Amino acid sequence: MKPALLLLLVPLATCSEPIAVQINTSSESSIYWSDGDSGRIDGVKFRLANVDAPETGGVGAIGGAKCEFERELGFEAKAFMVELTRDAELVITNNSGPDRYERNVVTLTANGQDVGEAGIAAGHLGPWPHRGRRALAKKPDWCARTLSAPE
């Protein structure tokens, strides 16, 4: 297993030039996905910037999925992110600082590919643009989505 490269930033810092730092991703992964848009990198909480993933928490629970379909989509999104970042060269290209849950809001690349954009293109994430802490659009309604009919 090759080591990943990851930019480590001071939580409130922003950056214009990514700096990579070698980390170990062998037996215990340095990246853990809580769901499709957030997790921990070397124990530091993060959230992907300008995207939203379906929730994986129990239906009706605080912060959980609003319906069982959203929960199923959430587990698919998480699995996609785990595979996308497994053994990848990871670089945080921007850190906007903490959100209200003290997670660093970051832009992350895996082998040079923007992770958020890859999740949107694959249909696992939805765009949710922000300016600072202010949402510029409504959060995606995952329960309103329908499965595509097989062709």
Domains of the chain, first to last: 4-139 (2.40.50.90)
Condensed to tens digits (0 to 9), the pLDDT of residues 19-52 reads 343 334 343 448 999 999 999 999 999 999 999 9
Cα distance between residue 37 and residue 115, in whole Å? 9
pLDDT: is 70 or 28 the higher one?
70
For residue 62, name the pLDDT band (cuts at 50, 70, 90).
confident
* Torsion, Cα of 18, 23, 26, 31 (10° steps): -50
What is the reported pTM?
Answer: 0.78
pLDDT interval class at 128 (50, 70, 90): very high
pLDDT score at 147: 52
* The length of the chain, given as a count of residues: 151
Give the model's confidence band at 91: pLDDT under 50 very low, under 70 low, under 90 confident, else very high: very high
| Coil, strand or helix at 120 | helix
